[in-house]
């Protein structure tokens, strides 16, 4: 099981909101898919970010608060299936490159919430936002990652990518790219 997300598929490339973001549900706001070649203060290939970046990244667009979501069903069988999850033998890694513009505090937050079959939340992991100080006052994407056990009883995961404008202006300059959620078996040890 893996959830992946970058700004590659779908329409976009500039600050205008696309009609849809393939693989993601637009939960709130007006996200944008920004081409690394756009410039004008947006992340470029010369700014810190993933080495293997594609052609675009996510942005908060024109809304003060923007959210993208994915709901993922965990495998029923196999090395990361229900029996292994319930025995405490499956771990997850959530990662993404999160950032913002120059000295502004607009940012992106990535979370994964594991849920029982009835939708009851069981555990939450959160990454970001990355502060301007952590970006050394520059436009940058910083790699963020966390690993933990998938909680017993989990049957699904909700991944949320939230962009928040904290300062003035009309652009939400929270940025994200290379979002990933993966499961792996622990080899029999919890």
Tens of pLDDT, residue by residue over 65-87, are 999 999 999 999 999 999 999 99
pLDDT in the model for residue 5: 62
Cα 3 from Cα 62, distance rounded (Å): 26
pLDDT higher than threshold 80 for residue 142: yes
Q: How far apart are CA 97 and CA 170, in angstroms?
A: 23
Q: Give the dihedral of Cα atoms 31, 109, 53, 64; nearest 10 deg.
A: 30
Q: Please tell me what DSSP assigns to residue 168.
A: S
Nearest Cα to 91, choosing from 144, 148, 145?
148
DSSP state letter for 9: S
The pLDDT tens digits of the residues spanning 28-40 come to 999 999 999 999 9
> Whole-prediction pTM value?
0.91
Look at 20-24, 154-158, 170-174 and tell me which has the smallest mean pLDDT: 20-24
Q: Band of the pLDDT at 17, cuts 50, 70, 90?
A: low
Distances (CA, A) of 2 to 47, 80, 100, 174: 27, 11, 26, 24
Question: For 147-159, what is the mean pLDDT?
Answer: 98
């Amino acid at each position: 099981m893996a959830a992946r997300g970058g700004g590659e598929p779908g329409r976009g490339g500039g600050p205008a909101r696309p009609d849809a973001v393939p693989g993601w549900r637009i939960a709130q706001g007006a996200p944008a898919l920004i081409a690394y070649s756009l410039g004008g203060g947006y992340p470029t290939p010369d700014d810190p970010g993933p080495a293997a970046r594609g052609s675009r990244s996510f942005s908060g667009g024109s809304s003060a608060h923007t959210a993208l979501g994915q709901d993922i069903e965990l495998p029923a069988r196999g090395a990361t299936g229900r029996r292994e999850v319930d025995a405490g033998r499956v771990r997850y890694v959530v990662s993404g490159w999160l950032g913002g513009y120059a000295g502004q505090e607009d940012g992106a937050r990535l979370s994964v919430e594991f849920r029982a079959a009835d939708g009851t939340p069981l555990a939450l992991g959160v990454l970001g936002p990355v502060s301007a100080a952590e970006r050394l006052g520059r436009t940058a994407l910083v790699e963020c990652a966390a690993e933990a056990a998938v909680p017993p009883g989990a049957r699904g995961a909700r991944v949320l990518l939230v962009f928040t404008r904290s300062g003035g202006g009309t652009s939400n300059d929270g940025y994200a790219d290379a979002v990933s959620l993966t499961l792996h078996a622990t080899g029999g040890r919890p």
